[in-house]
Chain A
Amino acid sequence: MLKFDEMYAQLTPQGTGQSQSQGGQSQSQGSGQGVRPHYEAYAKWLAGQPDTVMRSRRDEAEMIFRRVGITFAVYGAKDEDGSGTERLIPFDLIPRIIPAHEWRSMEKGLVQRVTALNRFIHDVYHDQEILKAGVVPREQIEGNAQFRPEMMGVDVPNGIYSHISGIDIVRAPDVQGKGEYYVLEDNLRVPSGVSYMLENRKMMMRLFPELFSQNRVAPVAHYPDLLLDTLRASAPSTTAEPTVVVLTPGMYNSAYFEHAFLAQQMGVELVEGQDLFVKDSFVYMRTTRGPKRVDVIYRRVDDDFLDPQVFRPTSTLGCAGLMEAYRAGHVAICNAVGTGVADDKSIYPYVPKMIEFYLGEKPILNNVPTYMCRNPDDLKYVMANLKDLVVKEVHGAGGYGMLVGPAATKAEIEDFGKAVLANPAGYIAQPTLSLSSCPTYVESGVAPRHIDLRPFVLSGRHVQMVPGGLTRVALKEGSLVVNSSQGGGTKDTWILEV
């Protein structure tokens, strides 16, 4: 077992390049470097905590999460313990700490990136300047399943499409071996997880109040306020006092807790498709006192299910006629329909160019260098280096449909290679990053585990966010996959003034 200091030392990247094998972990054992300064106070505090105390705190946290019902639904068989298909997302007691100055620059980068992405989506559905300029190939857009021709020429309030953006960020060594943040993925459709960010903080403050009096941790609890502000700002100009609702697929959806939580925190109705109807191009909800008009829909339902008259005809999760009301400008849908065209893995490599194209600025946040298998040269390189690369399906999500070369068997690599060759345009590849890890409470004690970060960026009248985001942690030793569906957990995230 590593000592605590050694694990924190790993947060100082050790790598010498980006394409070496995975895991900062093995390389940095016993490197003897000190704890990064922003972790010092916490490390000292933790050293003074008896193991039994930490264990009982962990049990307490689990008990509370169960009682409060902070669970996610798993599709499939029932659990033996009668808890049905509801599981807890493991919560780790040890916070992930980011120094305030690093956050300030990350925040600038996020504002810049999300602004450019919104400009891009607007452009794609209007004049398509970026396609005309040849910066993004036309067939990459028009051949994309996430491109919604129904949105061409539709004007949305403030020109904002992605009101809530979840940008996945990892920390890894750059070419010089210096720690650097990289955007791994943009989530512009219905990013989830923000309720865990909020509940994790609440839990930490409940379990360890003394930590918050000793450290200056930036608060996050005002997120629902910012969200409501953003949604109200996105209302059609026809109403002064907009009625906002959250649209959920229902209580059996895996993120139902979050939908209910956000609706409650904002004090707005949580509706299902069956609660809505459209009359004369306006959207109404059925209430005990008759129909009530709806102006802004924060939808947690995918495009495909929104309106059976326009998209999937069998969907019962949406509302017939919704698109008609939307196009008439009578209702705002957040995020807008068709944002998927910008968060696809095949579009991701173009984001830095978008920033330059629309804003005339150098990108503040890095992209991970990406090989697009649709390019013959890239494909050749990828096929020759499968064992060192992470290869992803461009439409995959949730950690599925990907190959982690260094962790894969020969047979898996071979099979995946065949799939790539059969449809090169369906894949991208990236070097295996030496992801930073963070000390994490596991069965055997404290051990390093890989982490990422998802800040939630809100775009309304202006772009804003609460400090930090959701830190996800891969609980399996050596694993790089942080998704909750694949054994991932979460941590509280501290933006700390040091």
Chain B
Amino acid sequence: MLSRTADHLFWMSRYTERAENTARMLNVNYETSLLPQSASAAEAGWQGLLSISELLPAYTALHGDVNARSVMEFMVSDEDNPSSIISCLRAARENARAVRGTLTTEVWETQNQTWLEVNRMLKTGEFERDPGKFFEWVKFRSHLSRGVTVGTMLMDEALYFMRLGTFLERADNTARLVDVKFHAVENDFMGTVGEHEQEYDFYHWSAILRSVSGFEIYRKVYRDVIKPERVAELLILRPDMPRSLHASLNEVVSNLRLVASDEDSDTLRHAGRLRADLQFARIDEILATGLHAFLTQFLDRVNGLGGRISRDFLVPAVG
């Protein structure tokens, strides 16, 4: 298939996934903000959200102080913010439009319909009236988009590049989420030292879990009260948790193997090693060396992998 086509498919999925993850984080923050909490805690929550996407400087330059209303507007409907939901959905749809002939009618119409709808919802004030409902909607459009992709696309390269985009983006997003949320507790999280306020802990950690649809999963897997070490383990190392780093890397590797023409390619080797590092790691070791350091390195490696995929397949050198 054309390299450019693969590039558009890859980015279409990445942007769809990014919109979903942004909606997830906004929704959890929004719900948390409905609980009684100190103003500084609320602000820290919104600030953390901006840090995840490395947007705090851009936001501050535009809005000054951090408050729920402005952050939500900035992250949902600001067309000048490339990470806002509207920008991500626009980019997803523009990429889809560039290769609409490669997509099944259902996949294309899902993307197009999402774009038409989101514009309508923002224009008619549906988002302001009920932000929670809007975030749910974004999530479900992403579910639909993935489902219609897997359910209708021919199982060939086009599908594999779309899946690659989805899971590379998810690995990145989950890593950022974990990093920022653990960062909020102390400088670097190295395991529970003293007893924190139990109540704050519960709401803080359960919010993270809910943002990745992991609350029920946690209970089912650990049958225990919510402990940060286990939250980290679930989101980083569990191969059966669909939004964990390990699960995402499993998908990246298997889709990469399907498109790679050379089983010995450097890109495949890098992806495999990254996955193996997750597969054989233990959470207490990671925490001993520092979670932030681990995640920073992980994000670098995911980023490097994206660059390699791009060079190998999407934007190859001339000739």
Q: Which residues of A contact B (CB under 8 A)?
A: 66-69, 81-83, 250-251, 256, 260-261, 263-264, 269-272, 274-275, 277, 279, 285-291
Instruction: Report whether A275 and B101 are in contact in the complex, using a CB–CB cutoff of 8 Å.
Output: no
Question: Within 8 Å CB of A82, what residues of B?
Answer: 119-120, 123
Residue contacts A-B, CB under 8 angstroms, 28 given? A67-B109, A67-B113, A67-B116, A68-B112, A69-B97, A81-B119, A83-B119, A251-B98, A256-B97, A260-B100, A261-B101, A263-B101, A269-B2, A269-B5, A270-B5, A272-B4, A275-B2, A277-B319, A279-B319, A286-B4, A286-B316, A287-B1, A287-B2, A287-B3, A288-B1, A288-B3, A288-B6, A288-B259
CB distance from B13 to the nearest CB of A (A): 15
- Counting from the closest, the 8 A-B pairs by CB-CB distance are A264-B101, A82-B119, A260-B101, A288-B313, A286-B3, A263-B101, A69-B112, A251-B98
Instruction: Report whether B101 and A68 are in contact in the complex, using a CB–CB cutoff of 8 Å.
Output: no
Q: Which residue of A lies closest to B118 (CB)?
A: A82
CB distance from A463 to the nearest CB of B (A): 27
Query: With A251-B97, A264-B100 as given contacts, are A286 and B2 in contact (CB-CB < 8 Å)?
Result: yes
Q: Chain A interface secondary structure, helix, strand, loop or mixed? A: mixed
Question: Within 8 Å CB of A286, what residues of B?
Answer: 2-4, 316
Q: Which residue of B lies closest to A68 (CB)?
A: B109
User: Does B157 belong to the interface (CB within 8 Å)?
Assistant: yes
Given contacts A285-B2, A288-B1, A288-B157, 6 further A-B contacts (CB under 8 A): A66-B116, A67-B113, A263-B101, A264-B101, A275-B2, A279-B319
C-alpha spacing A285/B6, complex, angstroms? 13
Question: Within 8 Å CB of A288, what residues of B?
Answer: 1-3, 6, 157, 161, 259, 313-314
CB distance from A265 to the nearest CB of B (A): 8
Q: Which residue of B lies closest to A257 (CB)?
A: B100
C-alpha spacing A289/B160, complex, angstroms? 14
C-alpha spacing A274/B318, complex, angstroms? 10
Question: Within 8 Å CB of B98, what residues of A?
Answer: 250-251
B13-25 Cβ-contact flags toward A at 8 Å (1 or 0) = 0000000000000
C-alpha spacing A274/B314, complex, angstroms? 12
List residues 62-110 of chain B with CB under 8 A from any CB of chain A. 94, 97-102, 105, 108-109
Q: Chain B interface secondary structure, helix, strand, loop or mixed? A: helix
Question: Within 8 Å CB of B319, what residues of A?
Answer: 277, 279, 291
C-alpha spacing A27/B108, complex, angstroms? 49
Question: Within 8 Å CB of B108, what residues of A?
Answer: 69
CB distance from B316 to the nearest CB of A (A): 6
User: Does B261 belong to the interface (CB within 8 Å)?
Assistant: yes
C-alpha spacing A392/B112, complex, angstroms? 40
Query: With A270-B101, A277-B318, A286-B2 as given contacts, are A251 and B94 in contact (CB-CB < 8 Å)?
Result: yes
CB distance from B255 to the nearest CB of A (A): 13
Q: Which residues of B contact A (CB under 8 A)?
A: 1-6, 94, 97-102, 105, 108-109, 112-113, 116, 119-120, 123, 157, 161, 259, 261, 313-314, 316, 318-319
CB distance from A470 to the nearest CB of B (A): 21
CB distance from A330 to the nearest CB of B (A): 17
CB distance from A294 to the nearest CB of B (A): 11
CB distance from B104 to the nearest CB of A (A): 10
Q: Which residue of B lies closest to A261 (CB)?
A: B101
Question: Within 8 Å CB of B3, what residues of A?
Answer: 275, 286-288
C-alpha spacing A250/B94, complex, angstroms? 12
Question: Within 8 Å CB of B116, what residues of A?
Answer: 66-67, 83
C-alpha spacing A244/B28, complex, angstroms? 50
Question: Within 8 Å CB of A270, what residues of B?
Answer: 5, 99, 101
| Best-buried of A250, A264, A291 by chain B (most CB within 10 Å) | A264
CB distance from A243 to the nearest CB of B (A): 12
CB distance from A490 to the nearest CB of B (A): 21
C-alpha spacing A256/B97, complex, angstroms? 9
Question: Within 8 Å CB of B313, what residues of A?
Answer: 288
C-alpha spacing A261/B4, complex, angstroms? 18
Question: Within 8 Å CB of A289, what residues of B?
Answer: 261
C-alpha spacing A67/B117, complex, angstroms? 10
Question: Within 8 Å CB of A279, what residues of B?
Answer: 319
Question: Within 8 Å CB of B1, what residues of A?
Answer: 269, 287-288
Q: Which residue of A lies closest to B111 (CB)?
A: A69
Question: Within 8 Å CB of A250, what residues of B?
Answer: 98
C-alpha spacing A453/B235, complex, angstroms? 62
C-alpha spacing A261/B314, complex, angstroms? 23
C-alpha spacing A195/B2, complex, angstroms? 23
Question: Within 8 Å CB of A264, what residues of B?
Answer: 100-102
C-alpha spacing A66/B119, complex, angstroms? 13
C-alpha spacing A82/B6, complex, angstroms? 28
CB distance from B10 to the nearest CB of A (A): 10
Question: Within 8 Å CB of A67, what residues of B?
Answer: 109, 112-113, 116
Question: Within 8 Å CB of A285, what residues of B?
Answer: 2
CB distance from A224 to the nearest CB of B (A): 12
Question: Within 8 Å CB of A277, what residues of B?
Answer: 318-319
Question: Within 8 Å CB of B318, what residues of A?
Answer: 277
C-alpha spacing A389/B314, complex, angstroms? 56
C-alpha spacing A270/B1, complex, angstroms? 10
| Best-buried of B98, B101, B102, B161 by chain A (most CB within 10 Å) | B101
CB distance from A148 to the nearest CB of B (A): 28
Cβ contact of B100, chosen from A66, A69, A81, A272, cutoff 8 A: A69
CB distance from B280 to the nearest CB of A (A): 31
Query: With A69-B108, A286-B316 as given contacts, are A275 and B4 in contact (CB-CB < 8 Å)?
Result: yes
Q: Which residue of B lies closest to A66 (CB)?
A: B116
C-alpha spacing A82/B1, complex, angstroms? 32
| Best-buried of A250, A270, A285 by chain B (most CB within 10 Å) | A270
Question: Within 8 Å CB of B101, what residues of A?
Answer: 260-261, 263-264, 270
Question: Within 8 Å CB of A83, what residues of B?
Answer: 116, 119
Question: Within 8 Å CB of B97, what residues of A?
Answer: 69, 251, 256
Question: Within 8 Å CB of B6, what residues of A?
Answer: 288
Instruction: Report whether B261 and A274 are in contact in the complex, using a CB–CB cutoff of 8 Å.
Output: no
CB distance from A249 to the nearest CB of B (A): 12
C-alpha spacing A288/B314, complex, angstroms? 7
| Best-buried of B2, B116, B123, B157 by chain A (most CB within 10 Å) | B2
Question: Within 8 Å CB of B105, what residues of A?
Answer: 68
C-alpha spacing A264/B5, complex, angstroms? 13
CB distance from A319 to the nearest CB of B (A): 12
C-alpha spacing A269/B112, complex, angstroms? 21
CB distance from A409 to the nearest CB of B (A): 40
CB distance from B152 to the nearest CB of A (A): 14
Q: Which residue of A lies closest to B108 (CB)?
A: A69
C-alpha spacing A258/B152, complex, angstroms? 23
Q: Which residue of B lies closest to A266 (CB)?
A: B101
CB distance from A300 to the nearest CB of B (A): 13
Q: Which residue of A lies closest to B94 (CB)?
A: A251
Question: Within 8 Å CB of A251, what residues of B?
Answer: 94, 97-98
C-alpha spacing A83/B112, complex, angstroms? 11
Question: Within 8 Å CB of A271, what residues of B?
Answer: 2, 4
C-alpha spacing A251/B12, complex, angstroms? 15
Q: Which residue of A lies closest to B95 (CB)?
A: A251
C-alpha spacing A82/B122, complex, angstroms? 10
